[in-house]
Amino acid sequence: MSSPSKALPAWIDVGVIPLINIMLAFFVSGLVIWLIGEDPVEAVKIVVYGAFGNDYNLGYTLYYTTNFIFTGLAVAVAFHASLFNIGGEGQAYIGGLGVGLICLALDQYFPFWIILPLAIVSSGLFGAAWAYVPAYLQAYRGSHIVITTIMFNFIAFSLMNYLLVNVLIEPGQMSPESRDFLASAQIPTMQEAVGWFGFEIQKTPLNLSILLALFSCVFVWLFIWHTRWGYAIRMLGFNENAANYSGINTQRLVVGTMCLSGILAGFVGINEIMGVHHRVLLDFTAGAGFTGIAVALMGRNHPVGIVIASLLFGALYQGGAELSFEIPTIQVEMVKAIQGLVILFCGALAYMARPTVERIFMAIVSNKEVVGEQANG
């Protein structure tokens, strides 16, 4: 989707306005913290240190960031075709199921270098399959994509509950989880990876799937802005009638775009199932699919912006946990409220500050033009 105005240069639209929205969110959050009798400045210090203060905290921040990059990219790709994919949570969930099935079936027979690409393909295919039905209903039956993707989130939760309770559960245990994968189906942690080069860091959930996230960013950038398919997606988002008139099969394009979105969301399963938990379990997505909506909005649907926004939300998740630990009066619910304020200002109110910024920018430009004319005169 494009921005609603062309008056502002890209660096203001992508950089300055999101920064203003973040500052507004933090200002309101600071007021809330002050009203309960705590020091907002001290709270900010705790959040920053809790997110970036040492390699342990940074590892957790980047672990969350990895999930948000996948889901943010998934939402952004759909946005460019003017599709609002709310089903990232379910698509990530089912993508994790695809990863788990490959690992459970093959970890006793094949080495890691064979299982990993198969798991990546499986996660993408399962995520795409879960996005296909809502996409088909939107393209060929007129059903609204928002309604169907939300519905498929709940279906995904129910399906996973059934499979883990009745099919995939490890025999002899009460918890609805599969058996642990063997080492051949586990992605190395970042601690193990840097150890190969003689460095030492503390163990965290961060693993090498972050490289897949960064590769996905490069792929989306190339695909959306440097291929004819990406051009067709953006044309569909700008004007569906023009896309039809130019000969683009918009129905097929809607389905293909949503499937690509599902593939990206499904990659969350690589990070969580193969990289962290090493088994199939319930609720491993932990809301990453919904956070991806705010990440995409804040990042203006561009991979660079999505990486920055994902890092911010990763810092809020990790730093917020540290904040609730260090200051008991700031409970987990309040930390979630702060995260919600960031989502509110950067998502629902993303363009609230835009008219003011435009007026200031145009005033500055006009003043420069007047000064220039006077100097030339």
pLDDT tens digits along 232-285? 999 999 999 999 999 999 999 999 999 999 999 999 999 999 999 999 999 999
Residue that has been written with the tokens 């499937």 in this structure: 259
Nearest to 248 by CA among 264, 237, 261, 259: 237
3-class SS of residue 1: coil
Q: Token pair of 59, please? A: 């590892």
pTM above 0.85, yes or no: yes
Measured CA to CA in angstroms, residue 216 lies from 57, 121, 132, 133 at distances of: 24, 13, 20, 24
3-class SS of residue 323: helix
Residues of the chain above pLDDT 90, percent: 66
Phi/psi-derived region of residue 336, left when phi > 0, alpha when psi is between -120 and 50, beta in every other case: alpha
Measured CA to CA in angstroms, residue 375 lies from 363, 365, 368 at distances of: 18, 15, 10
pLDDT tens digits along 55-69? 999 999 999 999 999
**Polymer length in residues for the chain:** 377
DSSP secondary structure code for residue 350 in this structure: T
pLDDT tens digits along 35-47? 888 888 898 899 8
- pLDDT interval class at 166 (50, 70, 90): very high
How large is the average pLDDT for residues 183-210? 95
Residue 317, Cβ density class (10 Å: 0-12 exposed, 13-18 middle, ≥19 buried) = buried
Query: What is the spatial distance between Cα 312 and Cα 308, in angstroms, rounded to a whole number?
Result: 6
| pLDDT reported for residue 209 | 97
CB atoms within 10 A of CB 270: 28
- Residue pair 89/288 in contact (Cβ under 8 Å)? The answer is yes
What integer best gives the mean pLDDT of the chain? 90
3-class SS of residue 293: helix
| pLDDT reported for residue 347 | 64
pLDDT tens digits along 313-330? 999 899 988 888 888 878
- Spell out the alpha helix ranges (H) of the chain: 10-11, 17-35, 40-52, 55-80, 88-106, 112-141, 145-166, 190-195, 209-226, 228-238, 240-245, 250-266, 268-269, 288-298, 303-326, 332-343, 354-376
Least-confidence region, from 9-18, 121-130, 171-180? 9-18
Sequence-separated (6 or more) residues with CB below 8 Å from residue 83: 138, 145, 254, 257, 258, 261
| pLDDT reported for residue 1 | 45
DSSP secondary structure code for residue 188 in this structure: P
Maximum distance among all alpha carbons in the chain?
Answer: 90
